[in-house]
Amino acid sequence: MVVGYVVMPEHIHLLISEPERGTPSSVMQVLKQRFARQVLKQIRRGQSSSQLGLWEEEEHVWQRRFYDFNIWNQEKRIEKLRYMQRNPVKRGLVLELQHWAWSSFRWYATGQTGPVKMNEWPAAKLQIHTAA
């Protein structure tokens, strides 16, 4: 179940529940491989897009490994979602959170669907977008 995400040029922040099959490692491996294949295919075909310009080299799309962190309560979940969703602004990719299309921020703030299907969490629509 996807609780939150932010796709950055060289990494992804993904907050998921424990997968029904496999491990978080296998989920990340499949996700990163499928996405990288699509991006690299578009680059090799010479398809231009302002977003494709985020990847400077043709060999690697993602950082090599991932770091996991277990979350046991709603307070920590909100803290991690806020950190993730502020990353594009902190990196200077956009001026405001709602301008980064590859994030779950708009889903939480307005209910607008994005490129990744979100799942309702038991405490749906956590108020992560209001606090500083």
Could you read off the pLDDT of 81-90 as tens digits, one per residue?
A: 999 999 999 9
Identify whether the C-beta of residue 128 lies closer than 8 Å to the C-beta of residue 85.
yes
Burial class (CB in 10 A: 0-12, 13-18, 19+), 78: middle
Nearest CA to 3 out of 130, 123, 132 is that of 123
Q: How far apart are CA 61 and CA 8, in angstroms?
A: 10
For 62-123, the DSSP string reads S-S--------SHHHHHHHHHHHHHHHHHTTS-SSGGG-SSBSHHHHHH----SS-----TT
pTM: 0.69
> Over the stretch 5-52, which tens digit does the pLDDT of each residue have?
898 877 788 888 777 777 878 877 787 778 777 777 776 676 555 555
Flag whether pLDDT at 131 surpasses 60. Answer: no
Identify whether the C-beta of residue 39 lies closer than 8 Å to the C-beta of residue 57.
no
